[in-house]
Structure 1
Amino acid sequence: MDTTFKLSNYIGTVYRDGQVTFTRDGDSVISPIGNKLSIFDLKNNVARTLDFGCKFNIKRVSISTTGSHLLVADERGDVHFVKISTGASIFNYRSNAVIGDLKYSPKGTRVAVCRDHDLQIFNLGKSRNYTITPLHLSRTYKLSSERLRCVNWSDDSNLLVAGGEDRVLRVVGSKDFQNLFIHPLSSHKGSIVHCQFMKGTYDMISVCKRGIANVWTCNLTPGDLKKGVWKKNEEGVDDVEMEDDESKVDKIFFEKTKKYWLTESSGSGKSVDVTAAQYNKDIKILATAFNNGVIVLHEIPTFALIHNLRISEMRIQTVEWNLSGDWLAIGCGKGSTAQLVVWEWQTESYVMKQQGHSLRITTAEYSPDGALIATGAEDGKVKIWNSRSSFCTVTFDEHTSGVTCVKWAQSGRAILSASLDGTIRAHDLKRYRNFRTFVCPEPTQLATLAVDKAGDLVVAGAKEVFNIYIWSFESGHLLDILSGHESAVSAIDIHGNHIVSGSWDRTIKVWTIVDSQAETVEVSHETLDVKFSPAGDVIAVLTSDGVITFFEAKEMLNLGTIDTKLDTDPSRGSRDTITRQSAAKTKTFTRIRFSPNGNMILAGGESNNFCMYSVPDRLILKKWKITENRSLDGVVLDFNRRNFTEFGNMQLVDTSDEDEDDEPNNKMAIKLPGTKNFDLGERRSRPEVNIYEVTFCPTGRRFAVCSTEGVAVYSLNTLSIFDPFQLDSETTDKVIDRALGNNDYATALMAALRLNKSDRITECIEATGVTQIPLVAGSLSTLYAERLLKWMVEGNVMSSTDQVHFYMIWLRAVLQVHGMQLKGIVDVATLTGVQQLVALHQEHIKKLLVISFLANNVHIIFRANQAKFSLGWITRIRKSKPSNKAKEASEDDDEDSDLSDEEGWENPLGSDEEGSLIIDE
């Protein structure tokens, strides 16, 4: 049993809070999700989550000039040096202060960090002990008594400009220059939101919170700066020691040449504040975002309005241009109400617009083919997510209360959801509509849901009246009501003609659908969850004492138990007034789920941990932690005594202020009952880490855990595959020709796949002998086998080739050797493409042109599926022609009798221009 599952993606969460950025190629956007980072590849429609995690929520992100590394800062001041390809944190630097901003220099050799009131400059790789500390502190500027919020470099990496809450811009040098030491500029009425040098010059643009944008012109140009050494003179004042005393040095000076009120373009006057701004120096466009959800674009330096766009009603937290200036990434809102937008300003269209659930996600379920994941939340919405791209494809919002359970029909064409509003709604995934609604005969809340594999029955359990309802899926009529439980029905499951239900009355019942009779089995504690094994021969029952009991389904014999109490290991919440040991007695796992083969069972609940157990051995196989994010409650095992004062635990004090966006806001909004949008009386609390659902993918290679952080997907496919060609930069066409000349077909094919040239791939494949195909396919690594499959599906070579049998031998060899590994690695679209490709050739073979002969220069062709009806008729015409020719020859002895004979014979079917007789369907 393989248990090497690792976090591969987050579903249902696209953005939390903090700064978003683009990769250097401009095709992917990097978004912070709590204490982790997700990368959305907009070109290939693929997303992944980096495996590393900070101790607190991520606030600032900066990407290197090479695009291979990231600098990530969390809200408590820890800076991580992360490699993007592997997702590993190489180095961790603790600043012990709030990080306002951090930026790589354009040359990629230095990093500027706004550390609270200071500006620090680090050298990369300049330290002697580089293997231990890749960040080496070069210098520190004490710039302000207030917090610094933004910093930027000039194009030559010689100057920096920083701004903060004291409304003053300060220009400093990255080295010692004779022209300046610290040059302050004050002309703003609010805290500085953004400041940046323009392209190729020392001219600047700055934007403040009150909406004032200033353009500053510098008297110096790149190359005018003179090196020097600043020292203290006899009076203790900073003075410069010049390298050349005779040379006259011009001091740096900035003149404000343009001032503009950006709030005039917001549509709300001067009552709104600027929350984020970003200037693209290549296209000379300034993007400004406001706290009312409006973003405007201006051309600089004329400040001509290009576009005004309202993204949402929520506050815009961050904006970022990609390198080419075509796309603009926008992060709106905070926490669970946040959304991520990528907007193409030239076409005024959305490249991506994704938003998660506004409240806690309570349930998740994989589709039968594993390609989709359905989620339901307390906001009453059901969302369908693509499991590979992590993008939401459709949202259903017909429910008027929280969704408690979602289930797929076995065909995968419909999704059913149960809600606290007392209804079950079935949605069609072809027309995206609610085509059937199941209603209880009396108003009650529905907490559980089950659908049989045949798709005929829908079963739901009520929370208030303790009944189980059975509907017909086809007609929507209520078929039966099962009564017998004396308390709330906590879980139900169905297999074949039997329904198993668990209740808080410390009993489980196995119902027979035909006669509505039940067999009752008493358990020691309240039942929390019940599940049939995939084969239906075992029933697993989870009770409130943390024990999983296995019963034989037919005779209800006890097969054994698993005690999960010690594996729960819950943390102490900030509101717990009792000790951790006493609090742990009231917390347990609440959800279980069998693996598709029935050999493993997954358990999670009121803890930061979830476990996988072996069903035959009754032993724990592996234990995971859902998160290390200390911004949430219930992560640390016990209290931090430093937070205790004479007034109590300071973690319980809400110090956040919605007007101050720099405060670390990691809390969940608690709205008044009945409110759906904004609530002026909402309060905030630190969300506690809990697991609400666990579900396995039908392939068995992935499972999803629905928790406070979202839906975390764990997969067996996260191990990186070693690719030797990635280390060779000299892979050219000569390598392919040399390998083909040496009959090394495997090396030639891998090189062609590496170059991604379709004609060379075709050449290598067709040069391989039929007897050598299995050997070459076995020599390929899984990475190249996946690429070869994608080439077969995406290209038009296999669909239009006349060597169908040859390519089918290749496809069979690849699937025989790498089928099990590719089952979980290759996305469903590729496998579906392979199936469609085979079906296409199968259809062509059925209609293959099998009979073709020449009859007096008339090419007669007919298809195989018409041979049965046409062969006899063609044969009779063929036999009748010689007799006609003999008859006409006896009547006319002219030398042109043959020609007249051909012209006199009429074609009853007609012919084409080339003289070919075609018999079609």
Structure 2
Amino acid sequence: MKFAYRFSNLLGTVYRRGNLHFTPDGNCVISPVGNRITIFDLKNNKSETLPLATRHNITCVGLSPDGSLAILVDEEGAALLVSLIGKSVIHQFHFQKPVHCVCFSPDGRKFVITKDNVALMYHAPGKKREFNAFVLDKTYYGPYDETTCIDWTDDSKCFAIGSKDMSTWVFGAERWVNLIYYSLGGHKDAIVACFFEENSLDLYTISQDGALCVWQCDTDLDGLKPRPPKDRAEDKNESIEDLGEEFIEEPKGEEIHGKATTNEKERRDKVKYSRAAKYFFNKEGDFNNLTSAAYHKKMHLLVTGFASGIFHLHELPEFNLIHSLSISDQRIATISINCTGDWIAFGCSGLGQLLVWEWQSESYVLKQQGHFNSMVSLAYSPDGQYLVTGGDDGKVKVWNTSSSFCFVTFTEHTSSISAVTFTSTGYVILSASLDGTVRAFDLHRYRNFRTFTSPRPAQFSCLAVDSSGEIISAGSQDSFDIFVWSMQSGRLLDVLSGHEGPISSLCFNPMKSILASASWDKTVRLWDMFDSWRTKETLTLNSDVLVVAFRPDGNELAVAALDGQITFWDHENAVQTGSIEGRHDLQMGRKELDKITAKQSAKAKSFTTLCYSADGQSILAGGLSKFVCIYHVKEQILMKKFEISCNLSLDAMEEYLDRRKMTEFGSMALIDDGAGDEDGVAIALPGVKRGRSWAATTTEGLLIYSLDSGLIFDPFELDIDITPSSVRKVLSQKEYTMAIVMAFRLNEKKLIQEVIETIPCNEVDVVCSSLPELYVEKVLEFLASALETSHHLEFYLTWTQRLLMLHGQKLKTRSGKLLPMIQFLQKSIQRHFEDVSKLCEWNRYNIKYALAISQQRGMKRPAETSVSEEELEESNSDYLMEDATTHS
């Protein structure tokens, strides 16, 4: 249970590639983020990344009409059928080739996928359990080039597909006498999108050169005539000579060929299309191609996106321009409209940007963007509510761990960020950059209020701040010096010299005024900040030192070197107390251009980041690897290893050489100039651990792993007599202390919540004083988790206050082990404090405003009934507590 960390969320990547979808209620956006999908809840301002992943990057997503199922297809054509309710994989399937588009029918009974120039229609999974979830129904042939888009009629009788050969094909989803297929031309470029009109066979087609064709059909949907079933032998002989050799592997299903011949009588009775109009979008230049489009059938609203970042809103069929706005300078890759037609979602793959625009009010509902380049450093705030990240793009971003959204971005740096950290207060962020500055940012006013520089320009590679937040130090990678500044005055206090190589890491002792510095000169130096900045001790290692970290109690120092070893030191006596050989645990993958196996390349790798757990018993280590390891410090053994990613679209993920990617001229990565440019190369995995969760910056984004024990039955000292009924019986007899003890021994969260919330407020003091010491920690841990979601704020705060007041002295003796739980409790209380304080200020402002308005209108109250400032605060606090307990 101690190391039962599970994937919790993905921050920093909001969109990578593929298509966006709104959920049927229109309140959430489903976005592909690499080989995972994230659901952005726009109503509650939260996001969640599902704990499932494909083997490669997701290229297309199909959502069922009821929003319960989704089909995720990756670059290689491997598909996952996912339950969005259970957040689990139901079925796996492989289409053998890359899939361009997948779309469910409006009735949810079928779905169509397109690959190469073929459309395949499958029976969609039903509500009952089925042995095979994907059953092929029909195969449709017609286009001569790759297919690009799919759209269904409202009654699911027909569907249309667009192709790069500039044609659009309309197929019957069932056997119709007057419609087998229909081909539409009229365009001079590849088809980007095609849309049926509401409850009609009328069609709109849009091409890449910005042309819109309006097609009218002479037949209504009710005019389609069903064909009687044919003999199966006749089906097998129909147009067999037109079957392409590459599609013989499709084992089942009927085949519909766009090249079948018909006689003259059937041709006269068939569905006919005529072009009613052709429109052209205003283009700014030759390279401003139309890249994506979406259509809302009920509102007749067409949204088109272009390569220049401009999008247009038109009303069809009159083609009236409503808006023409620019949201980015990058190509708009995908567009989606919610069910009400109010919100429009845009995805820009070039910037990794996701935007949700409310077009009627012309305002952003959501605007999120990750780091443009690699994310290289991160730090937790002291209370665990926020995460700060720094990237190679020179930006510093602050993320809320509860909502998973970035709420502020600082862009003052002009070069790559090398290190970020919080001060002990949690309201100041420090960042070091290769541009030669260290900057301090205020989270109250969101501004850069201090800039620290060196006398001569230097590139800062590492950063540290002492526990008081008053002394800032940064190491240089070119002058080999350490610079020390005062936070209060901003002055340079001293320059520490002595290292003979670039400074790789700095760390202050949490309990003493000692600074540890690591360098490529194979030494770790300890500096006493009170003794004229002189070197207190020098630790010599066998290899270049990459990172140092102090244990939370300050009595031990961990050092990671280039030889892959983690060594532990008693820095007071300069004695090594232990070491861990971690090179074998890294398990590197081989890069595309490597000429050696992954096993051989791992021999030259090492850990690049270290972080102690809050109790100091374990250490978290990560490096240029897809694994993050947790080691037990005292026993010096590997406790658990976490696989950060299984995405084979990233470089250095494969273990063995893939012969399919080799040619007589060498690796295909050398031949294809664009290989690997889209997704980047795997980078270091700095991890930070804060008790119940830890985070790692990766190529895919900011990954958060947390303890999730909600679904695990883990009883504590359980007896055969302890059952939910016996707990409720003791509770009904008002033996509250015994009921709490029995509930915690059974260890079911809902039962514990029921017991604690049944205890009257006037009995809390008595129960807390009689609670056994062993269960005080368990009750506090439960209160911390309950405060995150419960509406009974005052009730749980009363419990917390009484437990800490009565048992605080006893808990101090076990402060090291209790630190994660206390930090968890502090995080929950701090979040409520911020929410309630904002509400309090808003209420005070409204009351003062109402009083000022009434006085201006001459409706002053008599002197004896005037409201004083003290009465105002008292009434507001009463209202506030009442409001918090009911609506928290």
Assess same fold via TM > 0.5.
yes
> 2-side partners of 1:514 and 1:554: how far apart?
16
**CA separation of 1:521/1:214 partners in 2, compared to 1, >3 Å: closer, same or farther?**
same
**CA separation of 1:827/1:96 partners in 2, compared to 1, >3 Å: closer, same or farther?**
farther
* 2:249 corresponds to: none
**CA separation of 1:166/1:105 partners in 2, compared to 1, >3 Å: closer, same or farther?**
same
2:437 maps to amino acid: T
**CA separation of 1:840/1:530 partners in 2, compared to 1, >3 Å: closer, same or farther?**
same
Report how far residue 277 of structure 1 moved: 0.4
* 2:278 corresponds to: 259
Q: Where do 5+ consecutive residues of structure 1 fail to align?
A: 657-664, 669-685, 723-740, 747-760, 799-805, 842-908
Correspondences of 1:217-232 after superposition (within 5 Å): 217-228=216-227, 229=229, 231=234
Contact 2:783 2:800 in 1 (8 A): no
> 1-side partners of 2:38 and 2:500: how far apart?
47
Contact 1:701 1:824 in 2 (8 A): no
> 2-side partners of 1:369 and 1:164: how far apart?
54
Report how far residue 713 of structure 1 moved: 1.0
* 2:683 corresponds to: 690
| CA displacement 1:801-854 (0-9 Å, x = unmatched) | xxxxx887678799999x99998999957653268879999xxxxxxxxxxxxx
| 2:732 is the alignment partner of 1:715 | no
**CA separation of 1:312/1:239 partners in 2, compared to 1, >3 Å: closer, same or farther?**
closer
| CA displacement 1:72-121 (0-9 Å, x = unmatched) | 11121112101113332211110111211111111111111112211111
Report how far residue 179 of structure 1 moved: 1.4
**CA separation of 1:399/1:838 partners in 2, compared to 1, >3 Å: closer, same or farther?**
closer
> 1-side partners of 2:552 and 2:460: how far apart?
25
* 1:517 corresponds to: 534
> 1-side partners of 2:873 and 2:478: how far apart?
67
**CA separation of 1:623/1:913 partners in 2, compared to 1, >3 Å: closer, same or farther?**
closer
SS in 2 for 1:47: strand
> 1-side partners of 2:733 and 2:566: how far apart?
62
TM-score, normalised by the number of residues in structure 2: 0.80
**CA separation of 1:257/1:833 partners in 2, compared to 1, >3 Å: closer, same or farther?**
same
**CA separation of 1:146/1:373 partners in 2, compared to 1, >3 Å: closer, same or farther?**
same
Report how far residue 340 of structure 1 moved: 0.6
> 1-side partners of 2:872 and 2:182: how far apart?
88
Contact 1:536 1:553 in 2 (8 A): no
SS in 2 for 1:642: helix
> 2-side partners of 1:158 and 1:718: how far apart?
47
Report how far residue 187 of structure 1 moved: 1.4
* 1:360 corresponds to: 374
2:697 maps to amino acid: C
Contact 2:463 2:474 in 1 (8 A): yes
SS in 1 for 2:792: helix
* 2:250 corresponds to: none
Contact 2:651 2:676 in 1 (8 A): no
**CA separation of 1:233/1:40 partners in 2, compared to 1, >3 Å: closer, same or farther?**
closer
1:280 maps to amino acid: H
Contact 2:35 2:54 in 1 (8 A): yes
> 2-side partners of 1:437 and 1:641: how far apart?
53
| CA displacement 1:285-337 (0-9 Å, x = unmatched) | 00000111000000011110010110111000000011111100000133xx2
**CA separation of 1:85/1:486 partners in 2, compared to 1, >3 Å: closer, same or farther?**
same
SS in 2 for 1:566: helix
* 1:175 corresponds to: 174
| CA displacement 1:683-736 (0-9 Å, x = unmatched) | xxx633232411123xx11111112222111111385589xxxxxxxxxxxxxx
> 1-side partners of 2:796 and 2:515: how far apart?
49
* 2:429 corresponds to: 415
**CA separation of 1:553/1:47 partners in 2, compared to 1, >3 Å: closer, same or farther?**
same
Contact 1:286 1:299 in 2 (8 A): yes
Aligned-residue sequence identity (percent) comes to: 36
**CA separation of 1:610/1:913 partners in 2, compared to 1, >3 Å: closer, same or farther?**
closer
Report how far residue 770 of structure 1 moved: 5.6
Contact 2:428 2:443 in 1 (8 A): yes
**CA separation of 1:353/1:823 partners in 2, compared to 1, >3 Å: closer, same or farther?**
farther
* 2:850 corresponds to: none
Q: Where do 5+ consecutive residues of structure 2 fail to align?
A: 241-255, 714-731, 740-752, 769-774, 808-817, 841-861, 875-888
Report how far residue 629 of structure 1 moved: 1.1
Contact 1:8 1:718 in 2 (8 A): no
1:602 maps to amino acid: L
> 2-side partners of 1:769 and 1:481: how far apart?
59
SS in 1 for 2:543: coil
SS in 2 for 1:583: helix
Correspondences of 1:271-670 after superposition (within 5 Å): 271-334=287-350, 337-495=351-509, 496-515=512-531, 516-518=533-535, 519-654=537-672, 656=674, 667-668=677-678
> 2-side partners of 1:838 and 1:289: how far apart?
43
> 1-side partners of 2:593 and 2:3: how far apart?
35
Correspondences of 1:877-896 after superposition (within 5 Å): none
**CA separation of 1:591/1:810 partners in 2, compared to 1, >3 Å: closer, same or farther?**
closer
* 1:701 corresponds to: 692
| CA displacement 1:191-242 (0-9 Å, x = unmatched) | 111112121122121111111112222222222222214656999699999x
1:5 maps to amino acid: Y
* 2:21 corresponds to: 21
SS in 2 for 1:449: strand
1:383 maps to amino acid: K
SS in 1 for 2:604: coil
* 2:58 corresponds to: 58
Q: How many residue pairs end up in the alignment?
A: 768
> 2-side partners of 1:101 and 1:920: how far apart?
60
**CA separation of 1:481/1:232 partners in 2, compared to 1, >3 Å: closer, same or farther?**
closer
Report how far residue 381 of structure 1 moved: 1.4
Moved more, 420-429 or 687-696: 687-696
**CA separation of 1:252/1:787 partners in 2, compared to 1, >3 Å: closer, same or farther?**
farther
Contact 1:689 1:708 in 2 (8 A): yes
**CA separation of 1:484/1:118 partners in 2, compared to 1, >3 Å: closer, same or farther?**
same
> 2-side partners of 1:64 and 1:919: how far apart?
54
CA root-mean-square deviation: 3.9
TM-score, normalised by the number of residues in structure 1: 0.77
